[in-house]
Amino acid sequence: MIIILKYRKLATKLIPFQKLFLQKIMRENNFHALNNHLKYLFIFLALSLWNLSCKEVNNKTIKNTNSISFLSSIKYAKGFDIQIFDGYKKLIIKSPYPDAKNAQEFILISKNSSLKEQFSEQNIIIIPLKKIVATSTTHIPMLELIGEENSLIGFPHTDYISSSKTRNLIKNGNIKEIGNEQDINTEILINLQPDAVIGFSMGNSSKMYNTIEKNGISVIYNSEWLEKTPLGRTEWIKFFGALFDKDKLADSIFQDIENKYNTAKNIAKKTKKKPSVLTGILFKDKWNLPAGESFMAQLLEDANTNYLWSETKGQGSLILSFESVFEKAKTANFWIGSGYYTSLEDLANANKHYTKFETFKNKQIYTFSKKRSENGGVLYFELAPVQPHIVLQDLIKIMHPELLTSYQPFFLEKLN
């Protein structure tokens, strides 16, 4: 009887003529008949398993046809994703601006692709892009790393750009001035007819970008500045790799930076010392410093230090009173990032309160602002997103000098 019950369960999965065969045996409750037909039963069972496996294979085939054939290896960045299908890519900007509720999605497809008609209702970007307008200096080194600086035809306030390579393009008239980042001259921009504008925004309403889009020019938000981690910011090079159809190149560049960063991070772990760190500066009587979930806080953690505000929430800046900062950081070992002040004298002249910190008395204040380009731009603001390993090495050298004996800091310099 047990055998018959097992066969009854199996019968529910068999094709019709197999069910009829088993039902006949079970109705008769005839073990003799079962034995006589055992060899036929095994044949049918084999056919059943073969039939089920065929269905399984067919289902997998259908599933694979409609699923992602390759998902880009975005490991750290939270603000975007790249999905690669057969014949096209989908670029998803998950967080176009702070607290965004809707994502941006673009279909990236080649000019001669026969699939374009399938996406007539969606945002289509023809790749590789040939001409773009960028809006942040942090876009410049990423374009240069993948060899696409010549694709840049417009930029707001070109004086901000520090890179000598791109500055030569500006001098030669290859890159047009289009106003400033808060008030872009849309008439000049539209006349340039770029394939896309790489923008950034603080909110969901922008008349400027709406005007650009109404004239048939795609605006793609780059929100790398919202990333919480240094490698998350750097990984946006893959964003440009996708737009210029240079995914493999962008991936390899990122992997090299990632390896260098993690190597430095592991070196920092070799010491048990965790010096305390103060950051930031007073602005209109309020002290501005990085929140505990910011990329700078992550850098200080990876450098194996005790950032005194590491436990705070948020990825932007904290705005605190001088009294609260002084109470917590008056005996800090290091002060990293003193705004645009490049000497202790300048700092003291700006506000006598600064001289009360032990870091001032011990001359342990370091700034990113000394390393500048020929036009006065601070290199750190432009290069740091694609060189986080160098920033990390600078921090390790300053606070754990015994770990990197032959290294010379690049971005960070001590106030005289």
Which of 31, 66, 101 is at the close of a domain? 66
pLDDT above 80 (res 204): no
Confidence of residue 70 (pLDDT cuts 50, 70, 90): low
Please tell me whether residues 294 and 382 are part of one structural domain.
Answer: yes
What was the pLDDT predicted at 42? 44
Please tell me whether residues 62 and 97 are part of one structural domain.
Answer: no
For 102-130, how does the pLDDT look when each residue is reduced to its tens digit (9 = 90+)? 999 999 999 888 887 788 767 899 999 99
Q: Which residues contact 393 (CB under 8 A, 6 or more apart)?
A: 264, 404, 407, 409, 410
Please tell me whether residues 83 and 143 are part of one structural domain.
Answer: yes
Lowest mean pLDDT among 45-59, 110-124, 201-215, 377-391: 45-59
SS3 state at 115: coil
Please tell me whether residues 34 and 134 are part of one structural domain.
Answer: no
Residue 262 identity = N
For the chain, give the mean pLDDT. Answer: 85
What was the pLDDT predicted at 55? 37
- Residue 140 domain-assigned (yes or no): yes
Please tell me whether residues 23 and 87 are part of one structural domain.
Answer: no
Residue 374 identity = E
Please tell me whether residues 249 and 153 are part of one structural domain.
Answer: yes
On the question of a cis peptide bond just before residue 275, with omega within 30 degrees of 0, the verdict is no
Rg (CA), the chain: 31
- Nearest Cα to Cα of residue 401 among 257, 273, 280: 273
- Residue 29 domain-assigned (yes or no): yes
pLDDT mean over 39-57: 41
Q: What are phi and psi of 156, to 5 degrees?
A: -80, 130
For 294-333, how does the pLDDT look when each residue is reduced to its tens digit (9 = 90+)? 999 999 999 999 999 999 998 889 999 999 999 999 999 9
Distance CA 98, CA 81 (A): 17
pLDDT above 50 (res 286): yes
Please tell me whether residues 115 and 254 are part of one structural domain.
Answer: yes
Q: Are 201 and 96 in contact (CB under 8 A)?
A: yes
The domain that contains 318 carries what CATH number?
3.40.50.1980
Please tell me whether residues 195 and 48 are part of one structural domain.
Answer: no
- Residue 74 domain-assigned (yes or no): yes
pLDDT mean over 261-289: 96
What was the pLDDT predicted at 316? 86
- Residue 387 domain-assigned (yes or no): yes
Distance CA 341, CA 222 (A): 30
User: Residue 118's Cα: distance from chain center in Å?
Assistant: 29
Distance CA 60, CA 292 (A): 45
Residue 61 identity = T
Place of tokens 């731009």: 377
pTM: predicted TM-score of the whole model, two decimal places: 0.81
Distance CA 141, CA 240 (A): 11
| Helical pair 388-399 and 247-268, crossing angle rounded to 10 deg | 10
- Residue 215 domain-assigned (yes or no): yes
pLDDT mean over 19-30: 41
pLDDT mean over 238-247: 97
Please tell me whether residues 119 and 191 are part of one structural domain.
Answer: yes
pLDDT above 80 (res 133): yes
Confidence of residue 232 (pLDDT cuts 50, 70, 90): very high
- Domains in the chain, number: 3
Please tell me whether residues 76 and 166 are part of one structural domain.
Answer: yes
Which of 66, 84, 99 is at the close of a domain? 66
Please tell me whether residues 277 and 153 are part of one structural domain.
Answer: no
The parent domain of residue 200 ranges over: 70-258
- Residue 276 domain-assigned (yes or no): yes
The encoded tokens of residue 400 equal 């754990």
- Residue 263 domain-assigned (yes or no): no
67 or 315: which carries more pLDDT confidence?
A: 315
Please tell me whether residues 302 and 197 are part of one structural domain.
Answer: no
- Residue 223 domain-assigned (yes or no): yes
Which of 198, 224, 258 is at the close of a domain? 258
